[in-house]
Amino acid sequence: MAPAEIHRRHEHLATLIRAHDYDYYVLANPTISDQEYDRLYRELSELEKEHPDLTTPDSPTQRVGGAPVSEFKPVAHRTPMLSLDNAFSQQEVREFVARVQKLLPQETLEWTVEPKIDGLAVCLRYESGVFTVGATRGDGTTGDDITANLKTIRSIPLKLNVPQNLPLQAPHTVSPLAGSGTGGESLRPAMPALLEVRGEVFLSESGFRRLNEERVSCGDEPFENPRNAAAGSLKQLDSRIVATRPLVAVFYGLGAVDGTPLPSTQAQMLEWLRSLGFKTPDRVWHCATVQELLDAIKELDAVRRSFDYETDGAVIKLNPVPLRDRAGSTSKAPRWSIAYKYAPQQAQTVLSGITIQVGRTGALTPVAELEPVLLSRSTISRATLHNEDELRRKDIRIGDTVIIEKKGEVIPAVVRVVLEKRTGSETCFEFPRSCPACGGAVSRSVHSGETLVVARCGNPDCPAQVRGRIEHWCARGAMDIEGGGEALVSQLVAKGLVKNVADLYELTPESLSRLDRMGEKSAQNFLESVNQSKSQDLWRLVFGLGILHVGSSVAKALARRFKTLEAVGAATVETLTTTEDVGEVIAASVSRWFAIPDNQELIARLRAVGLNFGVEKLESAPGPFLGKTFVLTGTLPSLSREQASAKIEALGGKVTSSVSKKTDFVLAGSDAGSKLEKAERLGVRVIDEAQFLELCRQH
């Protein structure tokens, strides 16, 4: 073909494939067979191989992912990505509407209600219709550049469709309800010179199941839930891995827009986004009164479990966009929108038995074995009972009818017994006095006389403890060894390949080949991750050792104070107690752990294979928070505790776990408990996330 014909054919194929992608991934209505789609895609790919100059950033072939990046670069949001305030009752919805009406006293208010998808918030930037940058929410003002990862998601258009005709309104005029197509001048807006769209990335329920089936078949640990799997996917530095994950994106809002008139209502804005090629919420309700809002929330609750994704609430938005500017925002949330959070779904079933799980520290945890029951679209057959005292306090017996719920829509727990359904045939559970995993003695006290809530097995060679210690060592918050989950660790221990964490560093491809469903590539990836863990910071090593009572904050405090693992091990109980966050119980536990000969041998082996036994990164750098102590409590709107802690430490501050008169700041989120109460009692300054971020920005 002549060059002009080749160019035309390439453009035709790219346009055709984009259209079919939209039909399949956005509309869920494919118009050609998979074989025909593959034929078109292969032809496009071959053309670009023969003529590399034809390849453009918006080509459908650019979704496969590229070489890994070393880190995510920061991206500043042109307009802040605010979080939403929450409502938990009908009365709080009424109060919200009344607040907005007070701000807009002369207006007749209209609303939209959309499903609140349990995913990860993102912002995408398009320049002249081409996707250029995608970022996470981050702290609301700055996020991480995950453009390469987002390009792999098929429901995200790399190039926008030509905008459709759009009814536009004069400023501050309330429009008719959604989709009427009347009430304003109809015109075709230009392609925006710059367009920022906001939305949510998530894993569908069906995609999550397929992904876990594939992981198990490869010998990898299955993901715990769709939200964590989606979050972990977007944090991958290798976009080729992200391309294998069936992620979906839904869009429902705008950031900065330059070069075109804007829709005047939320309903019209969603129509406009759909015409540009974006996937938008499956269902949207349009309401003119408070009662219609409450009815819509109730209807959404009834239908949301038929959606192929997790929803944990309903998002209420003021429909006319010009009125939103007049209503304004607080430092963290818009005043014109709120999220109604549904109560955790509960179910009733029969507790048919109680079993005991043994953890890495020897803790014995009772687990309820349930007659299978459907709850939040999952079949639940087990739930935690926490400990022996909790079991007795709730008077839970084998044979009881119980109420269970998913805490945070994820973790099943027994809430209470349905006493009126007791028949007298139920039996009390006798808590074991010997370990069910190894037969070792079980104790509820330590040598200092402290009575423990949790019963523990005293045998350090207990196979259940061995598995738990190795899983803990591999965990993301400890040494972060990819693939070192329950499925793999159970096999390693059962086949005698690993008896302690040092054995991980002596594994070979040949030894791993003895494991079921362990392919060559999976083995290589696991061993590479094991080798990379040798350079982890000292605090991760201290935490990973699994010393009783030593969490990540204590591990960081020990690393800051003593600088090397040898110095931690050599410290006396008295010296340890002078360390921030370390009391007598923790100090005694640390000292006792390092005195055990088997642990001394373990440390020697870890030193021999080259793990980092010194600390440099945790030195308090000069900064505005130097000498300042923070305590975190509750759930922050946009920051995880790890992200907040990292910001504090980067600016020279310290994060501790308990409030005292020496605490400078308590950073409090929603559901803050006793730490907040203690801070108020002691007169410690309490700040929210918005105030914290402002302190960070000032420096």
Catalytic residues: 116
Q: Can you name the residues that pair with 341 across neighbouring β-strands? A: 313
H helical segments located in 609-669: 641-650
471 close to 489: Cβ distance less than 8 angstroms:
yes
Q: What tokens does 146 get?
A: 């995950």
239 close to 149: Cβ distance less than 8 angstroms:
yes
The torsion angles phi and psi of 570, rounded to 5 degrees, stand at -85, -15
According to DSSP, residue 246 is labeled: -
89 close to 340: Cβ distance less than 8 angstroms:
no
Round to whole Å and give the CA distance between 535 and 480: 11
Please state whether 482 falls in left (phi above 0), alpha (psi between -120 and 50) or beta.
Answer: beta
Q: What tokens does 297 get?
A: 């929330």
Q: What is the dihedral of CA 515, 520, 523, 524, to 10 degrees?
A: 160
Q: What is the DSSP string of 468-492?
A: HHHHHHHSTTTT--TT-SHHHHHHH
385 close to 414: Cβ distance less than 8 angstroms:
yes
Round to whole Å and give the CA distance between 436 and 457: 9
According to DSSP, residue 624 is labeled: T
Round to whole Å and give the CA distance between 413 and 269: 41
H or E element that contains 674:
helix 674-682
Spatial CB neighbours of 33, under 8 Å, sequence gap ≥ 6: none
* Helix, strand, or coil (residue 639): coil
Instruction: Tell me the pairing of strands 442-445 and 451-457.
Output: antiparallel
Q: What is the DSSP string of 298-333?
A: HHHHHHGGGSSS-EEEEEEEESBHHHHHHH-B-SSS
